[in-house]
Amino acid sequence: MLFIKSLLVLCSAAVVFARNSGEAVASRAIFFGEDTSDSSANPYDIYANPKNHASAVSSVLVFAANEVDFRPSEQQPKELGSNYEQFFKEVSAFPGFRLERDEQVLIPLDGTRIQFENAVFDTNPYYLHQSQVARNLRSLIPQRAGDNGGYWLLSLIAIDKPEDADAVKIALVSVIVYIETDRTGKVTIPVQEAIVRTSFFQARSRVLVGNADQFSEAIPIVHVPEAEKFFDSEKEDEDMIPCHQKPAAFVNQAQRALENWYSGNY
């Protein structure tokens, strides 16, 4: 009975997320490990050489985000919510990424930020970088939000390339939390149960290498530091990375690439 009750609560929370994910988003991307990518490599080598796959992964993530108009560094929080789920779907559909684990859990919150961090940590205590993940998600809770109280989606994108290997992993971690604001816009976190979703992907080296020609033609190269800036909702720089302003020829190439992703031709 307890299991069924917990399952019903989680399903209800998922419905709340579906209805309110368009409210507001705070986003960040972080990198763990050693980035061995050659910043001067040509686009083909970014995909063909596994040592450059951190840049290949960051390029795909930014490309997927641009395709669904999810640009955290340029848009306001309420502009992002309706597109986050589409971004997740784009990432999941890319054949060069393999979804290894995807889980949603409820965490009880007592209204304090430190307890929020601890509760997030406890969802994946054996993940090597979980303490940094929890701390970064805590820091995404705004101090002030004007009249933007309501449901917020806190999004953290982690790219991980160990120093002793070329394999690259991606973690998409999000928290759906309800916040309140007072007359001055100061944020408080009421007692509640928040939803934490953690999705781990493995970059498929063979797919990236085997399709280097197609990927390099369709996907602009965005190295890890630029991708971190792109996904940071706390920074805005119009000249930083105008990948969404694509010429018509590139749009056609990108569309063909997406069609191949969904049709399984890669």
Structural domains of the chain sorted by starting position, each given as residue range(s) with its CATH number in brackets: 2-236 (3.40.198)
Q: What pLDDT is recorded for position 41?
A: 97
**CA pair distance 72, 174, nearest whole angstrom:** 14
**CA pair distance 95, 107, nearest whole angstrom:** 32
Q: What pLDDT is recorded for position 9?
A: 40
**CA pair distance 142, 138, nearest whole angstrom:** 9
Q: What pLDDT is recorded for position 18?
A: 41
Q: What pLDDT is recorded for position 236?
A: 38
Q: Which portions of the chain are predicted below pLDDT 50?
A: 1-22, 235-255, 257-258, 261-262, 266
Q: What pLDDT is recorded for position 80?
A: 86
Angle between the 53-67 and 248-263 helix axes, to the nearest 10 degrees? 100
Q: Pick from 94, 180, 171: which is nearest to 142 by CA?
A: 180
CB count, 10 Å around CB of 207? 17
Q: What pLDDT is recorded for position 12?
A: 41
Quote the pTM value: 0.81
How would you classify residue 140: left for phi > 0, otherwise alpha for psi between -120 and 50, otherwise beta?
A: alpha
241: helix, coil or strand?
Answer: coil
**CA pair distance 242, 67, nearest whole angstrom:** 13
Q: What pLDDT is recorded for position 126?
A: 86
